[in-house]
Amino acid sequence: MSVVGKEEGEEQQVVNPWEVSAGKGGIDYDKLVDQFGCQRLDDALVARVARLTARPPHRFLRRGLFFAHRDLNEILDLYERGERFYLYTGRGPSSEALHLGHLIPFMFTKYLQDAFKVPLVIQLTDDEKFLWKNLTVEESKRLARENAKDIIACGFDVERTFIFSDFNYVGGAFYENMVKVARCVTYNKVVGIFGFSPEDHIGKISFPPVQAVPSFPSSFPHLFSGNDQLRCLIPCAIDQDPYFRMTRDVAPRIGYQKPSLIESRFFPALQGENTKMSASDPNSAIYVTDSVKEIKTKVNKYAFSGGQDSIELHRKLGANLDVDVPIKYLNFFLEDDNELEHIKKEYKEGRMLTGEVKQRLVAVLSELVARHQRARAQVTEEMVDAFMAVRPLPNMFG
């Protein structure tokens, strides 16, 4: 499926790893799933996950935040048969400042690791950031290590988790797989998938295999030696889908299994769905380093409200939940389904005011961020070394 550019009259949405922009009304997820060719994650599948893992499904599944997939049922089938798989997710370490949106895939992946008791590889694409941003190699490597600490703070199991940065890890079997994939993808193909152009440098053009090959267990001989057909499940935001469409297309041609995917919606910027989160605007997002005071100020002052302009109007008309950012954030971060439903109903019908909803959100976010900061403070350089060491994980399926 080609990258969709802007067309006259009707604005097309653009979704690829380096650009997410919506037409009017925000991202049309139905259109996206249709365009990309992935599947919707329905209630039956969510129920099946709960049944197989003997625990309630994560709220991101219950709330439809992870909403699309490719071949998730194959993973569930094999799991049900007693077979194993491994998880693969990642981050492009472009800045030290992680915001809440960055944590989503990691929170969900931790749940998957605990629920299915499977190993996990986490790729830090410092080479990608070097290629796309004006950073030095040293800076991108340093950012990778710093981001690793926030990732570790999400609570992954060191006995089952391998974190690696490309600049450190590329080589050997991983590099062999990169070259195998590269031989199967033409320049025309990556232009179609990613929108590259002839003035792009060859670093960009040849990067996609780097993000593809962690899908193949042979890329990690220290972990999966002799287990070449081990299946892989990739939790990620849906803008990463192009990489794995390409990977799934190549895999059978080089004798490997296609990875499965489980994909999330985008996390809205504080100032509204049609705005962008940007490192240059600290008020566009809640950062994991924000203080309680900063969270309160940001939510109160900048979180886009779907409430009415006056209390009278609001009690009469109620709130527009489609555009209300605090409600969307609660959707992501308030665990209790009943409480969330209650707030939504009261707010929509005008009985609860914007200020009260925001107050609840501030409480939820403050607790989440404080918990993260405590966990982050406990991550030592030695722990980072432990997660990043190239070592076998003898208990990874235990």
| Angstrom distance (rounded) from CA 5 to CA 254 | 32
**CA angle 290–294–298, rounded 5-degree value:** 110
**Interacting positions 152-191 with its own copies (CB under 8 A):** 167-172, 175-176, 179-180, 182-188, 190-191
Cβ nearer to its own copies, comparing 128 with 324 = 128
| Residue 203 lies near its own copies (rule: CB under 8 A) | yes
| Residue 143 lies near its own copies (rule: CB under 8 A) | no
300 contacts: CB under 8 Å, gap ≥ 6 = 355, 358, 362
Cβ nearer to its own copies, comparing 84 with 204 = 204
| Residue 16 lies near its own copies (rule: CB under 8 A) | no
**DSSP three-state, residue 97:** coil
Nearest approach in angstroms of CB 394 to its own copies is: 25
**CA angle 266–267–269, rounded 5-degree value:** 120
Cβ nearer to its own copies, comparing 2 with 338 = 2
| Residue 127 lies near its own copies (rule: CB under 8 A) | yes
Nearest approach in angstroms of CB 166 to its own copies is: 8
Whether residue 232 contacts residue 44, with contact meaning beta carbons closer than 8 Å, is answered with: no
Q: Map residues 204-223 to x or -, x wherever contact with its own copies holds by CB under 8 A.
A: -xx-xx--------------
User: What DSSP assignment string belongs to 343-381?
Assistant: HHHHHHTTSS-HHHHHHHHHHHHHHHHHHHHHHHHT--H
Among 33, 131, 353, 393, binds its own copies (CB under 8 A): 131
Nearest approach in angstroms of CB 184 to its own copies is: 7
| Residue 93 lies near its own copies (rule: CB under 8 A) | no
User: What DSSP assignment string belongs to 30-51?
Assistant: HHHHHHHT-EE--HHHHHHHHH
Nearest approach in angstroms of CB 242 to its own copies is: 14
| Residue 199 lies near its own copies (rule: CB under 8 A) | yes
Residue 71: DSSP 8-state: S
Among 51, 201, 276, 351, binds its own copies (CB under 8 A): 201
| Angstrom distance (rounded) from CA 290 to CA 372 | 11
| Angstrom distance (rounded) from CA 163 to CA 150 | 12
- Identify the H or E element spanning 87: strand 85-91
Distances (CA, A) of 326 to 275, 298, 341: 15, 11, 14
| Residue 280 lies near its own copies (rule: CB under 8 A) | no
| Residue 226 lies near its own copies (rule: CB under 8 A) | no
| Residue 36 lies near its own copies (rule: CB under 8 A) | no
| Angstrom distance (rounded) from CA 290 to CA 271 | 17
Cβ nearer to its own copies, comparing 100 with 246 = 246
Nearest approach in angstroms of CB 249 to its own copies is: 13
Q: Count residues contacting its own copies (CB under 8 A)? A: 35
Nearest approach in angstroms of CB 252 to its own copies is: 16
Cβ nearer to its own copies, comparing 210 with 352 = 210
Using CB under 8 A as the criterion, which residues of the chain lie in contact with its own copies when the complex forms? 127, 130-131, 137, 167-172, 175-176, 179-180, 182-188, 190-191, 196-203, 205-206, 208-209
